[in-house]
Structure 1
């Protein structure tokens, strides 16, 4: 007899053409299935293609057990909410009050859900404007009003300390929720300082639980992976941090980055008196031929130059000379998150801007440099490495600095791999602990009195156990 499925609502995520969003859904499904058995998921996403993904597959690479629902991203044209957002834009303020028209669609997703999981990743931050946070909080409240526990799932949160009023409102909202699962220690410590403790746990990003999927690749990509190449993910969004929003200038910087990574005589440092290093460690990248594999991790259906990694990376490769082009290749845009996890995990070293591209590398034990354009990179590196030495801040996003740090990464390959491999294995396993916390919370929420006495004691014990484990692995 077939086991009955447990239904969950996932919301707040972006489109699956963002392979990080896809990785979150795939990893979450695997995490839930281990604890709850067969699950059915309603995926209510802004910008999600309701029906098929960008290459014809069902969203998140799944079939009938995931039901995609597209939430309208903005208010109807010429509506009052639309006018308010236009006013905010004219005043030079990001976001503006969130529209509520999407709630009519969202409400149709609530029936039968055991819990609502807000899976936006970094949605609870003002990097993308206040309206994004307000929209997530609206959906959290909508779940709770319908009697469905609301859970923040695998998030980075804040900081909002420059806006004390907004910070207090977010903290009060999070304290009311049934469970808040953060993915890195900076968010964990920040929320504890705000008094979010009773319902707060630290668990690695659900993408750590994503299973890699193999398949055939274009010959040039396969050849680079066989040789032990550097994987490189660059994002158009980095133009905001690196070149003040000048995308053309950022493309020029990116071209020079690839050239310097390919060059066999780049100095690790321009500091006088220091030894020059190359990108070839002893026994390492032989004859300068290992090359650089360019890895798009976010694409857009309309190939928008401001958001599509592949458009940027192909532009970069086209601007290289013939010899450099022969040592590079661009992974196909059609590859989903599981395929990309496999390819990234087969690189010898990885440098990435997109958070979940770097998570794919770190989870496979690949020595990785994170190119940061938001605070989440620091927190995730602290979780994995125990420090943020391998994070490049926006002010450091230059071709020379990147080549120098890459040379250091390569030189220290054996040391980094020895430390990273067991940590990565432990984090991939710990990602599944989120479902344990969720199950404890749901068992408490189901009690007649609503007081989670015994389950709370169990949950506190599990929090302590996992906290110690994360600290010592």
Structure 2
């Protein structure tokens, strides 16, 4: 990636809202790194130099921060926004437009009203500043309360563009009357760069299991917060028991959320507990970045998991995968790609979920062909998203009087393909 910086005034400044390059949730990091790669490619197409201001939460990790184009804004907190002590509004002043990715699935009220209010307020502030607001590919909803639906719809009507990353979200947008400013794309993490490892020719079948600490502990509040129809912990143990019977199986536990501050959300805790119960399991290292996690997952022969971006890392690197879906974001995304191998934890019982996962493992050669076809679809959709961003960047640059410089970013960066 070309990291030469064009001075402010000769470049566009893009606000990356609800992105993070330090999140302990590698899914959020995957979205952010992928968005940066896509924006770099779009800028090359448009002939525009870019710099970025990143707004969102922070974690204990650090990836991509050596990119000199990135400026990290202060952390956004609801209390600070409500009492007008937040620096977010003033930091927005230097932005020419804002790309809001909503941490992938947080433009919803599924995680509680406080979280929804934080996300909706930041959008309202961007619009009040008269900054063009684009909702980058993400899950839209669900909005279970009428007031959340009303607020979300009114905000989306004022966005320059709203990109849904799945068919269910896109259909919802049409249902609430949005037409001219909406488009269906796919999750940007399909473009996350990675290095495919060399696979050992030792006769082992490598099975990767991403155990969600959040589901294993019953959600943030406990007590089956997400309304699962199955016992997730019991399902996980059933799979491990079955696969452990065969000594040719090398089973890896792959944490994808590492959170010292939120132990109920930490995949390491659930994985450590299972490692004690099943000593033959192998535990993946703590990854330094989303790309490192994807590179590791790419070395598996089969993957199942309940973190969507762990599953996308497998899928987009060509690994047969059966996701365990706890929200509609899984179903909408994978069905859009013509991929039906999903264990629906909100509709299936343990026996049915285990059956589809184990059957997927046995038929992984067939799954690999379906994954290949799905990736062709996903990459084509992201080509369209990239082209749209290039058009928007060029329009904003012309309006702002920013000179077009076709040679500024000759190298668009890796796209993960």
TM-score, normalised on structure 1? 0.72
Partner of 2:265: 307
Partner of 1:154: 137
Partner of 1:131: 114
Partner of 2:391: 440
Change (3 A) 1:426 1:3: farther
Partner of 1:8: 14
Superposed displacement of residue 136, structure 1: 2.2
Which secondary structure does the structure 1 equivalent of 2:241 belong to? helix
Superposed displacement of residue 446, structure 1: 6.9
- How far apart in 1 are the matches of 2:73 and 2:107? 21
Change (3 A) 1:313 1:332: same
Root-mean-square deviation (CA, aligned residues, Å) is: 3.0
Change (3 A) 1:357 1:107: same
- How far apart in 2 are the matches of 1:347 and 1:104? 44
- How far apart in 1 are the matches of 2:5 and 2:146? 48
Superposed displacement of residue 116, structure 1: 0.8
Change (3 A) 1:131 1:305: closer
Partner of 2:359: 408
1:317 aligns with 2:275: yes
Kept in 1: contact 2:321–2:367 (CA 8 A): no
Kept in 2: contact 1:225–1:346 (CA 8 A): no
Partner of 1:140: 123
Superposed displacement of residue 208, structure 1: 0.8
Change (3 A) 1:413 1:436: same
Which secondary structure does the structure 1 equivalent of 2:136 belong to? strand
- How far apart in 2 are the matches of 1:147 and 1:423? 38
Q: 1:384 aligns with which of 325, 333, 337?
A: 337
Superposed displacement of residue 188, structure 1: 0.4
1:244 aligns with 2:223: yes
Partner of 1:44: 55
Task: Flag structure 2 segments of 5+ consecutive residues without an equivalent.
Answer: 226-230, 400-417
Decide which structure has greater helix share.
1
Superposed displacement of residue 172, structure 1: 2.0
- How far apart in 1 are the matches of 2:156 and 2:136? 12
TM-score, normalised on structure 2? 0.81
Within-5 A mapping of 1:141-220: 141-160=124-143, 162-213=144-195
- How far apart in 2 are the matches of 1:261 and 1:170? 44
Superposed displacement of residue 231, structure 1: 1.0
Q: 1:289 aligns with which of 238, 243, 248?
A: 248
Kept in 2: contact 1:229–1:349 (CA 8 A): yes
Q: 2:71 aligns with which of 67, 70, 95?
A: 67
Structure exhibiting the larger radius of gyration computed from Cα positions = 1
Partner of 2:323: 370
Within-5 A mapping of 1:219-258: 227-238=204-215, 239-240=217-218, 244-245=223-224, 251=233, 254-258=236-240
Change (3 A) 1:165 1:252: closer
CA deviation vs aligned residue, 1:233-277 (integer Å, no higher than 9, x gap): 111221437x8349xx8656533431223235xxxxxxxxxxxxx
Superposed displacement of residue 291, structure 1: 2.0
1:119 aligns with 2:126: no
- How far apart in 1 are the matches of 2:330 and 2:200? 30
Partner of 1:424: 375
Change (3 A) 1:226 1:135: farther
CA deviation vs aligned residue, 1:31-63 (integer Å, no higher than 9, x gap): 0001113532221112x14xxx43xxx344643
